Chain A
Amino acid sequence: MTIEASSRDIPIGSMLPLTGPSAIDGAEFRKGIILACEEINLGGGILGRKLRPIFMDTGRQTAEEVVTSAARLIQDHSVHAIINGYNIGSQNSEYEVIADASILYIHHNTLLQHHDTVLSNPDRYFGCFMANPAEFWYGQGFVKFLSWLRETGQWSPANNRIAIISGSKPYSIVIANAMANAAERFGWTVSFGPKILATPRNDWREVIAEAQATDPAVIANTHFYATDLASFQTQFMQHPSNSLIYLQYGAMHKAFVELAQGSAVGVVVSAVTGLLRDEPGNSFASRYILRFGTASTPQIGCQCYNAVRHYAIAASVAGGTGEPGNGSQNRKIARALIDIPFRSVAGMVRYHPQLQAAIPYPDQEQDPSLGMPHLFYQVRDKAAGLALIAPAPYNADRFVLPAWFR
């Protein structure tokens, strides 16, 4: 299957970090978009019109890079929608050019500031959707996860201390703040941090030693670059302490296990949007690997895949897509995105009607059929991959005390 250009095609833009520190994720986002477009086109496209993806590299994901990408997609390619993974550094700057063009924008920036921007002018930002929950929920969800391990007797921490280390991106800082904010209510004490370090970074030895000096039961690192996290874990394992290690999103990536090797086993990682291990999820993973090879990571690629499919359904129900400037048609699609929750391969995408962000389960919504699951994994070995250990009803494995505990 290939995507051939035709004048009737619907151009769909995508702003991806295809180079730079998040290039590993960017490549998977691209694959997710391609697979979704191919499958939709094979079935007839949106009301008979095929989707044609156009990619822009956002590199280090600075505001300038992301805004330039959005402007070019709109001005040079007249895209009807922009759908992508995350661009962390732009701080929503791209919303302005997108709002000016009145097109749809579905992203996975996972940023709390999306709420503030949309609420500041709902009419202007009608088309801006965040297809996963805000990063805030990572922080609070992790504290609940720890408490659940403790309350259910799966783990008996030696004390109630948590050390929190953060990277310098807003995403990491907010997660660290949210973690610290929730800790005390659940009977934990922040013994170190949140310590914000400039990232990217591959030398973590000093901060690991500082954190270990406070004898924490848990060390959480909310930075999210897979390669940096592999360095962190490898360096922690040079002098391990009896601390549970939580690493942010990037540790889900195959590259993390490839780099950290045996040191990775036992690490806990989570995703507020992750591939489910049920029939639809497994079927998607098989198709993805068949299409892009065994080195690919469907767990990452599923996000953009879902977003394109949800957009296609909403646009079909709305009677078609809208080019830049066609606000009336694009408002219909935005309405349909909210009105029609979508059970994706990563669980339920149900947009909060005012915030236009996916509602998380169990962090905010208690009904698993009405929220996107915040999944917790534990790294096993290279062959076994990630064990999905929480929450019910999606968990398939149990937490295992990491081998580095003495």
Chain B
Amino acid sequence: MSPPLSKVVGNRGDPILDGLDGTTAGISVWSSTRILIYANRAFINTFDIRSAKIGVLHHDDFIRHLIVSNELSLLSAEEWSAAQIQEFGTEQHDIQSTSDGRTLDILRMPSGNGGMTVTVHDISALKSTELALRSAKEAAEESGDSKSRFLRAANHDLRQPLATLRILIFSCLSETDEAHRKDLFHAMDVSVSIMEDLLSALLQIGQLDAGIIVPRVTTFQLTSIFERLNLQYAHQAAEKGLKLRFAPTRAAVMTDKSLLERILSNLLANALRYTDVGGVVIGCRKDGATLRIEIWDSGRGIPAGQMERIFEEFYQIPDGRWAKRPGLGLGLNIVHRLAKLIGHPITVRSQPGNGSVFSITVPLGDIWHSEAAEPEINEAMAGEFVGKTVLLIEDDAELRGAMQGLLERWGMRVSAIGSEAEIRRHLTETPATPDLIIADFRLRNEVGTDLVERIRIMFAKQIPAVIVTADATPEVVAQIKAAALPILIKPVSPPRLRVMMHNLLFEPAELMMPPRKADA
């Protein structure tokens, strides 16, 4: 009795046949009576026929086995099996996919005695490379098409304000009426801002096309973006007489901060552009583990038939009323592409005449991970001297600059002054009392101690003060001490200055206390 194929492999007693078991190509030989007379290891494994037997397995049963076992991924199994059985012994070349994702190149060749030899090559790797190449080619072609389309449209939109600008300049050159000239300048300003918008949008689109925008996901407080957008758009809204309101939020969200800001900025700019009365409100709604950020406007709304097209490049709703300060038709396309890049869905609902609501849904973040501050903290953010005002009087410009830099690094607001004349001017212009005075002893026309005294009288307050001096002679030290002012000797060491300022501002009693002797 013939053993199953699994036992035969590599043990056939024929070095040539055993050798063929070592090849990666599958080989099988069928007799004129359609009985299997040879199959190598690769063939047996490819079609999982380990239990079949040489001299027993019939070709048609083999085909039916392939159908039942679902080895091949076939669109119409019945049709395929009928053709295989009918066309036994004829030359055929097929590329077949298997159900586990491989691609097989199957070649059937008739043998001289009415039988058939079948060879099978696994060409999955080749196929995958080919597919990748094809997809890259298609993407490149598509990108090329869209770039040409884009550049044609951009060219048109950029030429329009340029042409207007040229006409306006010529008109302006010959215009003698001052009021009319002002109007022309205003119109030029509008043209320039249109070009500015377009160039900025082109830059963003260019970055998206080039694929150089790589999202960097962090967790942060959404309100930090709202603050910046408010600064950016409050004036614009006020100029149009629109109300702009950001509903307070304390949510931490997890996404790319700058990309989300660009999306919201574009949506907000659009909302303000197409709203004539009423206002724009930005608010949030929690929805499970996500947050929906919504931009509500009381603008003209979008006709139902246009909803699908508004995210296309350079698409503008064909409506004469929009012509006053038209958009470029790029904002929403940028929004769409950026949102796709960071994987956040954008939705829009609108009612012509009643406004629109654009929304973007972002994942909520863990509040512990929220970046409340800049990545690197420093004393200008929350140091002990933050916000304190200091009057720095030093006539050496270099020293004054260095000291001012140091104090500002520590978060202080510094009025740095180099001469008595400047002091007089400063004190007239800035009537607020400084928290601290740091004065050089030897000024051009008077000594620092006298100057401090005059400033204190002027503000009617014993403002904390320190005198710095390079002259540490006993006479000078005595003179400063006589004025009951503390001294720092130049070059001033930053830690000493800190200690002195801290004590003057927060712990004046420490200045009176004699130092203790350190004990072992």
Interface positions of A (Cβ within 8 A of B): 18-19, 54-60, 62-66, 68-69, 72, 89-93, 95-96, 112-113, 115-117, 120, 134, 136-137, 139-140, 143-144, 147-148, 151, 168-170, 173-174, 177-178, 180-182, 184-187, 196, 198, 362, 364, 366, 391
The 8 Å CB contact of B494, one of A66, A120, A180, A196, is: A120
Given the known A-B contacts A112-B383, A144-B370, are A96 and B495 also in contact in the complex, defined by CB atoms under 8 Å? yes
Given the known A-B contacts A96-B493, A186-B250, are A362 and B369 also in contact in the complex, defined by CB atoms under 8 Å? yes
Q: Are B378 and A170 in contact, with the CB atoms below 8 A?
A: no
Give min CB distance, A19 to chain B, whole Å.
Answer: 8
Q: Are A72 and B382 in contact, with the CB atoms below 8 A?
A: no
Q: Are A116 and B516 in contact, with the CB atoms below 8 A?
A: no
CB 8 Å contact bits of B492-520 with A (1 = contact, 0 = none) = 01111011001000110110010111111
Give min CB distance, A332 to chain B, whole Å.
Answer: 27
* Given A59-B518, A174-B383, A187-B250, 17 extra CB contacts under 8 A: A56-B519, A59-B516, A64-B516, A72-B520, A91-B498, A115-B377, A115-B378, A136-B377, A140-B372, A144-B367, A148-B367, A170-B498, A174-B382, A177-B382, A182-B373, A185-B372, A186-B372
Q: Are A170 and B502 in contact, with the CB atoms below 8 A?
A: yes
The 8 Å CB contact of A92, one of B223, B375, B495, B515, is: B495
Please tell me if B224 contacts chain A, counting CB pairs below 8 Å: yes
Given the known A-B contacts A93-B495, A174-B384, A198-B507, are A112 and B367 also in contact in the complex, defined by CB atoms under 8 Å? no
Number of A-B contacts (CB under 8 A): 138
Q: Are B367 and A91 in contact, with the CB atoms below 8 A?
A: no
The A interface is mostly helix, strand or loop, or mixed, namely helix
Given the known A-B contacts A59-B518, A144-B368, A174-B382, are A113 and B498 also in contact in the complex, defined by CB atoms under 8 Å? yes
B369 surroundings in chain A (CB, below 8 A): 362, 366
**Distance A362 CA – B252 CA, assembled complex (angstroms):** 14
Q: Are A62 and B515 in contact, with the CB atoms below 8 A?
A: yes
Interface CB pairs A-B, < 8 A, 9:
A60-B513, A89-B510, A92-B495, A92-B498, A117-B494, A185-B221, A186-B221, A364-B375, A366-B368
**Distance A213 CA – B515 CA, assembled complex (angstroms):** 40
Q: Are B382 and A112 in contact, with the CB atoms below 8 A?
A: yes
Q: Are B518 and A57 in contact, with the CB atoms below 8 A?
A: yes
Q: Are B515 and A56 in contact, with the CB atoms below 8 A?
A: no
**Distance A332 CA – B516 CA, assembled complex (angstroms):** 36
Q: Which of B36-88 contact A (CB under 8 A)?
A: none
**Distance A63 CA – B373 CA, assembled complex (angstroms):** 31
Nearest to A183 among chain B residues (CB) is: B372
The 8 Å CB contact of B520, one of A55, A65, A112, A113, is: A55
Please tell me if B410 contacts chain A, counting CB pairs below 8 Å: yes
Chain B interface, number of residues (Cβ within 8 angstroms): 41
**Distance A93 CA – B501 CA, assembled complex (angstroms):** 13
**Distance A112 CA – B369 CA, assembled complex (angstroms):** 21
Q: Are B509 and A198 in contact, with the CB atoms below 8 A?
A: yes
Q: Are B372 and A143 in contact, with the CB atoms below 8 A?
A: yes
Please tell me if B413 contacts chain A, counting CB pairs below 8 Å: no
B382 surroundings in chain A (CB, below 8 A): 112, 136, 139, 174, 177-178, 180-181
Nearest to A185 among chain B residues (CB) is: B221
Given the known A-B contacts A92-B495, A117-B495, are A62 and B516 also in contact in the complex, defined by CB atoms under 8 Å? yes
**Distance A89 CA – B516 CA, assembled complex (angstroms):** 13
**Distance A362 CA – B223 CA, assembled complex (angstroms):** 20
Q: Are A185 and B518 in contact, with the CB atoms below 8 A?
A: no
Give min CB distance, A168 to chain B, whole Å.
Answer: 4
A62 surroundings in chain B (CB, below 8 A): 510, 513, 515-516
- Please indicate which of the listed interface residues B367, B381, B517 has the most CB atoms of chain A within 10 Å of its own CB: B367
Nearest to A197 among chain B residues (CB) is: B506
The 8 Å CB contact of B367, one of A18, A58, A89, A151, is: A151
**Distance A349 CA – B506 CA, assembled complex (angstroms):** 33
Please tell me if B442 contacts chain A, counting CB pairs below 8 Å: no
Please tell me if B386 contacts chain A, counting CB pairs below 8 Å: yes
Give min CB distance, B291 to chain A, whole Å.
Answer: 12
